[in-house]
Amino acid sequence: MSNWTIGIIGGSGLYAIDGLQDQAWRTVESPWGQPSDQILFGRIGDVQLRFLPRHGRGHRIAPSDLNARANVDALKRSGCTDILSISSVGSLREELPPGHFVVVDQFIDRTKGRPSSFFGSGMVAHVSMAEPVCERMSAFAAEAVAEAGGAVAKGGTYLAMEGPQFSTRAESHLYRQWGADVIGMTAMPEAKLAREAELPYALIGMVTDYDCWREDAAFVEVSEVIAQMGANGTIARKAVEALVYALPATRAASPLDTVLDHALITSDAHRDPALLAKLDAVAGRVLG
C-alpha cells in the first residue's frame, strides 16, 4: 500500500473525482470551526484520497466566508500527507486564455480580515513563505494536466483578491504591473495554512476568463465563467487521476514535512494550553 494520502481541495468547477474507489463521505470535526463540507474518503489504486469541496456541495459558501483553518485542519486530521488545490482563476496575461491551466508557484495576498494562521498569542510561530508551493507536487500536477490533454503553464503568480466582486479595470492593470499572472479569491490564506500544517501544497489554476484589463473586450459575465468551468472541470478530473497514477510507489520525505522544527518561538513556560489543544493535529508532531 502507498504511503501517499492526497488531499484534493476542489474549487469552482471541480465538484467530484473520477475513478474514486471505496467512497465514503465522513464528518471530520475541527477545533477551528466547521469545514466547508464533509470529506469524501476514497482511493485510486493504492493511493488514498481525501476530497473536500471548497465551497461546499452546491457551491453555497462565498470566498470571504470560507473557514480555511478548519478545512486544512480537517484534511490534516484525515491523514493527508500533501494537498492539491484546484481553483478557477481569471487571466491577467494574453498568453493564458480561457481553457488554459496554470500550476502556480507564487502568490500575492490582497485578502482582508481572513484568519491567516493557526498560531497567535500564546503560541507564536513564523514559517517561511518564500517558496510557497511544493516543487515536487507542482511538477506532478503540471505533468498530469498535460497527460489529461490540457494546455498548462508551469509557474505563475496568483493574485488573491477578497471578492466577491470582480476587479475594477484600474485594479486589473495594477495587478499586471505587479507581475501577477492569474487572479482568484480562495488560495489565500489556504496556502499559508497548509505550510503551517506541514502539508506540501500545489495549486492548479483553471483559467475561466480574462480579467477586465483588456480594453477592447466585454466584461466577464458569470454565465460565461460557468460554461468554461465545465470544460475545465473535465480536464481537471482526468488530471487528478493521472497524477495519482504517476506518483512513486513510496513517498519520500519532503523538507516541508518538518517546517515547524525551526518556526516555534514561544517559550514552554508561556505557551497557552487552550491554543496548544487546538493545535493537536496541525502541530502535534512538535508540540506533543
DSSP at 278:
H
Active site residue 37: no
Q: With CA atoms as reference, report the closest residue to 230 among 58, 14, 17.
A: 14
From the list 37, 105, 109, 209, the catalytic residue is 209
List alpha helices for the chain, DSSP H. 68-77, 135-147, 169-178, 187-196, 222-246, 273-278, 284-287
Whether 107 and 157 have beta carbons less than 8 Å apart is answered as: yes
Going by C-alpha positions, the residue among 200, 202, 76 that lies closest to residue 138 is 202
Amino acid at 239: A
What is the C-alpha to C-alpha distance for residues 279 and 256, in angstroms, rounded to an integer? 18
What is d(CA 240, CA 198) in angstroms, rounded to the nearest whole number?
21
Q: Which of 82, 109, 211, 257 is catalytic?
A: 211
Q: State how far the Cα of 269 lies from the Cα of 216, in Å rounded to an integer.
A: 62
Q: Is there a catalytic annotation at residue 82?
A: no
Alpha-carbon Rg for the chain, nearest whole angstrom, is 18
Report the catalytic residues: 209, 211
